[in-house]
Structure 1
């Protein structure tokens, strides 16, 4: 076959210092293999090598999230279609042997056979910044926990003179008090050395706490610019949003369906039936950190979201266990988050609620009594500190129905509290003069 008519596929086995490249034709014929340094000149050499045989259909790269990350970015910028390749099958390794050229050719053959078709993360945008910051945050969190545990351990065996001073203190107060101490005496004395070590550990704890605060501020700033509407979803905060974005990557279009996203975050239902039992369970694959984030969203919604609490109550009446209900909720949350990632939608504008209420001369307590909610809940909703679409719709509908003419008649000097007490005296069963009971708040969002 003439060289100008060749269409080739490249396979690249990546390492820390070198990359080994194998080139095959679109019919599977091995053409050549060569090793290149894992550096700028080596990347250009790889491009010249694989394009020298003809048009490149694709390049299968191992380790696109580690040693092959920069190579993947360089190939993509040159217009070469990059495919992420898993490590070679162990059975094939035992039968055919193991070497860098063999691994490179097997990577190319995986692309040709269709076994490898995953588009790697681009790692060239704001999400990559989130990933780096989260990596730093994780180590700082572990270090802070380790410092606190070490302080508590040292206090257990410390002299009673030290233990008595800090025995009843909470952890934040303990660290603040230890930081202010001024140990004096010979370093060889157990009392002085223990006090000195505790002070240094408290200083380290404060530095780690400040570092974490700085990281959280940077994460919040990136999310505000890159994905401000993701945190409008109930239960999704800075930590959850950043983790889910890191899992998807800078190119979310590579996750083509919400079912694939569910599998990626480990909440895809798979059959687990046997005999007379017919049931499903959640996949244990995918990104476990993203699965943890989805689990946290479900826990928050089961506690605070009115729609979720109503759903949980209904499914429990149907005989479902909490585990089965959470499985269904996780799948729903994954679907909702996927839609927000691909097609961002802003949360309802809550600022108008307060304006309309004040214009109609309605008090926050009147609205709370009518909606059977806490006044603080409505206040947080009005100020944008709480996101609840169901409560927002009920509040907005109630405000639109109200008018200054149909307000309850009250004396201007008596104030709303006196009016509520008067109504309550006439009708002891009225809700107007009391705070919502526990049963009233069962449907409170």
Structure 2
């Protein structure tokens, strides 16, 4: 059994080619440090090195998501508790200087003092696959945007015969027309070179679009098997769901409550009062991509979700501005997203609505008149293309009530059966 004297804490300063490992005792005394190559043999050497000095309490590793990602997996596989050490103290660095051994010892001291620590992401599950796919999708999206901007820029300065040929076309029609074109002429002819370049860019645009569609299909396949219920929420699609899961990581226990999730996504309320003004603003920290995803959900719900519309109307009457209302909504959405991630709840079943309506001989138009809704909204709810739990519940309740009353809508006029 290990004694108190050989309980140790490990600190690691990671780099692309080498890792510097430092060991201190559980009361802060420096014991040893050594540099290892960032390869398989180096990782095995690190395990032997720290194992030869005692029982490891914990290991503080810098850059667990980049240079230290593989080392983190190795240490966890060996049963070592790994903690991510954030940026070293700049004031201490100015006073004591900087070197790999000093940074490694600083990482170990941070673990001992429980200062500047975080639980690293696992980075070896479905969410890591989502992250990699999203990285590919992001670069393809940026390249496609650059491509269409180049096409439109070329058309602005191209000869009039080219401009007139493609004037007024939207993006999809423009790309299709350019990709089908057959430029001909001399290589020193400006019109020919412009047409040839436009065709090349259009083909590139189509290739990037195909790549994005392939990635989207892969993202959806992972979401359908890993978190199928997350996309049941109003306003949450493949893009938004994948981003929120990437933010949380494969080990959601990193986020212990919905307040921490709100801070992680940059929607934690912060007091911003002054004088007679009493208000809050949202934190500008956290993952900005996740914050953008929540913003997208709010925008969708303000247009299509009845609960959100009623809330916006209520807060507007109270004198709140649109931006402040959206801040409140983002906080509510973060709470709902966290609950769905930590305790998935399926969306209410809506497959019974259309059979009930047809059994009563009702048309979408007649239903919409009774529920005071557009027929297209009723149709989308029946097909599961949009979600409004309150309207769906009212719709089902009304249909069942008509069924119990024995009302027949199939004839030219309503009659009792």
Q: Distance in 2 between matches of 1:314 and 1:409?
A: 37
Q: Distance in 2 between matches of 1:260 and 1:316?
A: 29
Structure 1 match to 2:271? 271
The answer (yes or no) to whether the contact 1:266–1:291 under 8 Å persists in 2 is: yes
The answer (yes or no) to whether the contact 2:127–2:246 under 8 Å persists in 1 is: yes
The RMSD of aligned alpha carbons is: 1.6
SS of the residue corresponding to residue 348 of structure 1 reads coil
SS of the residue corresponding to residue 60 of structure 1 reads strand
Structure 1 match to 2:168? 168
Q: Distance in 2 between matches of 1:75 and 1:10?
A: 11
Q: Distance in 2 between matches of 1:74 and 1:409?
A: 69
The answer (yes or no) to whether the contact 1:381–1:388 under 8 Å persists in 2 is: yes
Structure 1 match to 2:195? 195
Structure 1 match to 2:359? 359
Q: How big is each residue's C-alpha offset from its partner over 1:206-251, in whole Å with a ceiling of 9 and x where there is no partner? A: 1011111111111111111110000100111110000000000001
SS of the residue corresponding to residue 351 of structure 1 reads coil
Deviation at 1:160, TM superposition (A): 1.5
Matches within 5 A, 1:135-146: 135-146=135-146
Structure 1 window deviating more from structure 2 (281-290 vs 269-278): it is 269-278
Unmatched tracts of structure 2, length 5 or more: none
Deviation at 1:404, TM superposition (A): 6.6
The answer (yes or no) to whether the contact 1:13–1:61 under 8 Å persists in 2 is: yes
The answer (yes or no) to whether the contact 1:351–1:382 under 8 Å persists in 2 is: yes
Over 3 Å counting, the alpha-carbon distance change for 1:361 and 1:409 in structure 2 is closer
Aligned residues: 413
The answer (yes or no) to whether the contact 1:179–1:202 under 8 Å persists in 2 is: yes
Q: Distance in 1 between matches of 2:363 and 2:202?
A: 48
Q: Distance in 2 between matches of 1:3 and 1:40?
A: 31
Structure 2 match to 1:33? 33
Q: Distance in 2 between matches of 1:346 and 1:87?
A: 41
Q: How big is each residue's C-alpha offset from its partner over 1:139-182, in whole Å with a ceiling of 9 and x where there is no partner? A: 10010011111111111111122112111211211111111111
Q: Distance in 1 between matches of 2:170 and 2:276?
A: 54
Matches within 5 A, 1:150-165: 150-165=150-165
Deviation at 1:384, TM superposition (A): 1.4
Q: Distance in 1 between matches of 2:181 and 2:33?
A: 66
Q: How big is each residue's C-alpha offset from its partner over 1:41-65, in whole Å with a ceiling of 9 and x where there is no partner? A: 1111111111211111111110111
Q: TM-score with structure 1 length normalisation?
A: 0.90
Structure 2 match to 1:342? 342
The answer (yes or no) to whether the contact 1:360–1:404 under 8 Å persists in 2 is: no
The answer (yes or no) to whether the contact 2:11–2:105 under 8 Å persists in 1 is: yes
Structure 2 match to 1:385? 385
The answer (yes or no) to whether the contact 2:362–2:409 under 8 Å persists in 1 is: no
Q: Distance in 1 between matches of 2:224 and 2:409?
A: 46
Deviation at 1:405, TM superposition (A): 4.7
Deviation at 1:385, TM superposition (A): 1.3
Q: Distance in 1 between matches of 2:127 and 2:178?
A: 39
The answer (yes or no) to whether the contact 2:361–2:409 under 8 Å persists in 1 is: no
Q: TM-score with structure 2 length normalisation?
A: 0.96
The answer (yes or no) to whether the contact 1:184–1:192 under 8 Å persists in 2 is: yes
Q: Distance in 2 between matches of 1:290 and 1:401?
A: 43
Q: Distance in 2 between matches of 1:406 and 1:4?
A: 81
Matches within 5 A, 1:114-129: 114-129=114-129
Matches within 5 A, 1:30-429: 30-403=30-403, 405-407=405-407, 412=411, 414=412, 419=413
